[in-house]
Amino acid sequence: MKTKEYMKKLFYPESLAYIGATSRRVWNIMGVIERGYKGDIYLVSEKDEEILGMKCYKSISELPDKIDLAVIAITKSKVKPIIKQCIEKKFYTLHIFSAGLGEYDEPGIELEHEIHEMLKNSDTRAIGPNCMGVYSTGGRISYHPNFSKKICESGCLAFVSHSGDLTSRYVTDCNNYGINFSVAASIGNTISLKFSDFIDYFSSDEKTDIISGYFEGFSQFREFEGRDLLKVLKENKKPTLILRGGVTEKGAKTASSHTGSISSNSKIWNSVVAQTGIINVATFEELMDSTIAFYYCKGLYPKVNSLILITWSGGTASLGVDRIINLGVDIPEIQDPARSEMQSMISIGSVANPLDLPWIGHEEKYPEICKIAIKEPYVGGVIIEAFAPRDFDDHHMLHHNNIMKIANYTREEGKPFLMSLPHIRGAQREKYKDILIKDKIPVFPSVERAARAFSNMYKYKSKYS
């Protein structure tokens, strides 16, 4: 069976088995049954007769053959014989949740090599060990019960990660910003299915428009994994955001003790970035910001590496310009005749760029002034900074409606619109953020973070223009 067919079994299983199920750890089972999973579920437990109202079997031998996905959550001393039984029962895919193997000590490394050989010479594939598992909205499965239950059929995000906790954090934060997933996977020590296999699958998945990942290094269990990853990244044309761990010497050692991966040399990684269309992000925050920008600005990637910054304060404007320029993004002065036309419509402030427009945010002329600048061909996109209101009253709604007009004017010109909403008035900020996200406005906590996301969109557009 081809690797992509194994991926379908992993993300869209018609039968599931939980080996090592226990009433003390039901969250992964709840992540399935609460989604209305349609397939067959089998629980194998040495101690429990019943979990969540479902019968428990005592051994794998009692289960049918050819189960699509089996989750193995047992002590490492029992992992090898359990996997052998799964292979004999011709289970298609395994999620080896069990930890303490190759990332832990030398005997663990030896055990991983033995399991790798077993899987390599079988018709079974696996993720892990030491991983949280999979999240598939269409497959109605999730290792975490609190992930969004919304099924995404098109325009979705797909994610693959060597880290389980980072996967949970990323999916949760994306859900909080209204971002819908096709699938996500925490793949741990990758003794069988590799990082490149997932990128390859995502690149041809019709539901997935954007790919992201957290990469700690090449698996020691595939000699040519670097070559394979380069090949699939070259062939992939979808926006792909990769956060790499293990960049420093200390970080590389941490990555090795985390997943047992061989950290990629920076020169090799930089060569991969240069030869492919991936966007290499430096921090988790940049990964989140860029994901938000690409998700809400689909088809509006900037053709020009320049921004209009719209503010209400000279100090805010000055600081914003410094940070944008430091990112290598231009803030072009608005030229005549547009500048003179805009100037005639204000009595204080500035329209040179930044557009410093105090006290008129609720007036009809506010979006019309901005529209003149937005239409200029040397402008690549727009960032507007605003603050969450104290009260969601009529005065605020006038301002919000004007922001929406500016956003629509920007999109009509085929340019991205981004919003800086600083973390002030916490509860109000979160409420206003949710309103903006519902209106498909990408929201960031600062001008600098919005501009960095814009820069990454421009880099992607430049590689494929």
The answer on 62 and 182 residing in a single domain is yes
Please, which pLDDT band fits residue 256 given cuts at 50, 70 and 90? very low
The answer on 310 and 273 residing in a single domain is no
Final residue in a domain of this structure, among 264, 294, 324:
294
Judge whether 258 and 252 are in contact, CB under 8 Å. no
Looking at residue 61, what DSSP letter applies? G
Smallest CA-to-CA distance from 443 within 418, 413, 406, 426 is with 418
Q: How many CB atoms lie within 10 A of CB 238?
A: 17
Final residue in a domain of this structure, among 294, 323, 348:
294
Final residue in a domain of this structure, among 253, 276, 294:
294
The rounded distance, in Å, linking the Cα atoms of 462 and 244 is 22
CATH code of the domain covering residue 323: 3.40.50.261
pLDDT of residue 24: 86
Mean pLDDT calculated for residue range 439-461: 97
pTM above 0.85, yes or no: yes
pLDDT of residue 368: 98
Residue located via tokens 């914003």: 320
The 10s digit of each residue's pLDDT in 292-323 is 999 999 999 999 999 999 998 777 778 889 99
The 10s digit of each residue's pLDDT in 106-130 is 777 888 889 999 999 999 999 999 8
The answer on 333 and 191 residing in a single domain is no
The answer on 361 and 245 residing in a single domain is no
The answer on 25 and 69 residing in a single domain is yes
pLDDT of residue 269: 81
Count of structural domains, the chain: 2
Q: How many CB atoms lie within 10 A of CB 107?
A: 12
pLDDT of residue 407: 98
Instruction: Using the predicted structure, report yes or no on whether residue 248 has a pLDDT greater than 60.
Output: no
The answer on 35 and 144 residing in a single domain is yes
The answer on 204 and 186 residing in a single domain is yes
The answer on 317 and 269 residing in a single domain is no
pLDDT of residue 246: 56
The 10s digit of each residue's pLDDT in 331-374 is 999 999 999 999 999 999 999 999 999 999 999 999 999 999 99
Residue located via tokens 């993720």: 127
The answer on 413 and 306 residing in a single domain is yes
The 10s digit of each residue's pLDDT in 66-109 is 999 999 999 888 999 999 999 999 999 999 998 777 676 777 78
The 10s digit of each residue's pLDDT in 376-429 is 999 999 999 999 999 999 999 999 999 999 999 999 999 999 999 999 888 999
CA angle 128, 131, 135 (to 5 degrees): 105
The rounded distance, in Å, linking the Cα atoms of 35 and 19 is 20
The answer on 336 and 206 residing in a single domain is no
pLDDT of residue 265: 67
Whole domain around residue 361: which residue ranges? 297-463
The 10s digit of each residue's pLDDT in 16-50 is 999 999 988 898 899 999 999 999 999 999 889 99
Instruction: Using the predicted structure, report yes or no on whether residue 255 has a pLDDT greater than 50.
Output: no
% of residues, the chain, pLDDT over 90: 80
Q: Alpha-carbon Rg of the chain, whole angstroms?
A: 25
β 417-420/443-444 pair status: parallel
The answer on 252 and 356 residing in a single domain is no
Smallest CA-to-CA distance from 97 within 22, 41, 35 is with 22
The answer on 383 and 269 residing in a single domain is no
pLDDT of residue 140: 98
